[in-house]
Structure 1
C-alpha cells in the first residue's frame, strides 16, 4: 500500500473562498442549502475543486476561541473529506447556539451538514 502524500489532505489557498467577489457569487447564485438551527451551508457549483469559506460573526459566536474552534473542526472535516465532495464553493455560516455545542456535538453537526449538502448537490446538479 502506498503512503498518502500530505498535499492531498492539505488546505491550500486554492481551496478557500478568499475575496468578497467569491462570497458574493455564492450568495447571488445559491444552488444548494443545508440549513440547521445552529449553522447554514450555502453552495454554488464551480468548475474546479471544492472550496470553503466562513462567516462566523461575533454577534452569533462571542468568543474568538469558540469561532476558531468551529473553523478548525470544519476545516479539518473539509480537508479530510474533500475528495468525496462535489465541486462546490461552500460558505459555512454560524448561527446563535453554535458555540454552546460540545466538541462531539460539533463534529457530528459538521459531518451531518456536509453529508446533507453533498446529497442535495448531487440530486440538484444532475437535473
Structure 2
C-alpha cells in the first residue's frame, strides 16, 4: 500500500520551484500547448525522467482566493493522477478569465482533457521553431 501511495505523490521533484524554471517554459523554442478559453497549459521538454508542474493562477483572472486555491488543488490532483501518462515535460497551468465560474467536476474534466491533449502533442514530432524578428 505504501508503494502505490508514493508512486502517485506530489513531492518537490514534481514541482517547478524557481523563477528560472518557469522562465525556461515561457521562453522555450519548442513549446507544447494545450488551450481552452478558460485555461492554458504550456510545456517544454526537460532533461529528467518525469514531468513537473507549475501553476500561475493570477488574481487578475480569478479574484477570490478560495477559488484560486480550489483551482490549484484540482490542477495538482489531476496532474498527480496522470503524471505516469505524461512524457518528461515541464508544464505550467495558466488561468484565463472565466475559470472561476467552472465547478469542481467541470474543472477536473477540462484539466484531464488538456493533459491528454498535451501528452498526445508532446509525442508528435515538433515542427521547426519560427524565427521571430
TM-score category (smaller protein):
over 0.9
Task: Write out aligned runs for 1:1-127 (5 A).
Answer: 4-29=3-28, 30-48=30-48, 49-124=50-125
**Count of residues paired in the alignment:** 126
CA–CA distance in structure 2, aligned partners of residues 51 and 103 of structure 1: 23
Q: In angstroms, what is the RMSD of aligned CA positions?
A: 1.8
Shift of 1:107: 1.0
Shift in CA distance, 3/56, structure 1 to aligned 2, threshold 3 Å: closer
Shift of 1:67: 0.7
Shift of 1:106: 0.6
CA–CA distance in structure 2, aligned partners of residues 33 and 46 of structure 1: 15
Give deviations 1:94-127, integer Å, cap 9, x for gaps.
Answer: 01100000111111110111111111111135x9
Q: TM-score, normalised by structure 1?
A: 0.92
- Segments of structure 2 that go 5 or more residues without pairing to the other structure are 129-133
CA–CA distance in structure 1, aligned partners of residues 80 and 104 of structure 2: 18
